[in-house]
Amino acid sequence: AQKITQTQPGMFVQEKEAVTLDCTYDTSDQSYGLFWYKQPSSGEMIFLIYQGSYDEQNATEGRYSLNFQKARKSANLVISASQLGDSAMYFCAMRESSGGSNYKLTFGKGTLLTVNP
């Protein structure tokens, strides 16, 4: 089974609207971290937001928020007030704490977001 599943290969959103990018994960660890990264067409990986498994509140960073539903093992990224510059690939990633390798990130396959003017 995949550890990180992003079911939306591509998403379209109208400028200024909100969009939700889905991410579900699979782990038996109690302690883990979830990340979202943005990869624009230029190729660099840009950190957006982090959620720890023990964090009680959903993480927020400016226009980004993470809708963390622990029981459902989902960590959806919500982008409010979309901008043209938000067009990019978005990757969900997880860091587990077991096995002594808590430095590894496991990435999903990504969602390509296109913001239309």
Partner 1 sequence: NAGVMQNPRHLVRRRGQEARLRCSPMKGHSHVYWYRQLPEEGLKFMVYLQKENIIDESGMPKERFSAEFPKEGPSILRIQQVVRGDSAAYFCASSPDGTGGAGANVLTFGAGSRLTVL
Which residues form the interface with partner 1 (CB under 8 A)?
4, 33, 35, 37, 42-45, 47, 50, 52, 91, 93, 95, 101-110
> Which lies closer to partner 1 via its Cβ, residue 18 or residue 105?
105
Give CA–CA dist 82/73, Å, rounded.
25
Give CA–CA dist 43/117, Å, rounded.
23
> Which lies closer to partner 1 via its Cβ, residue 71 or residue 103?
103
Q: How far is the CB of 105 from partner 1 (least distance, A)?
A: 7
Q: How far is the CB of 47 from partner 1 (least distance, A)?
A: 5
**H/E element, 33:** strand 32-39
Q: How far is CA 30 from the centre of its chain?
A: 19
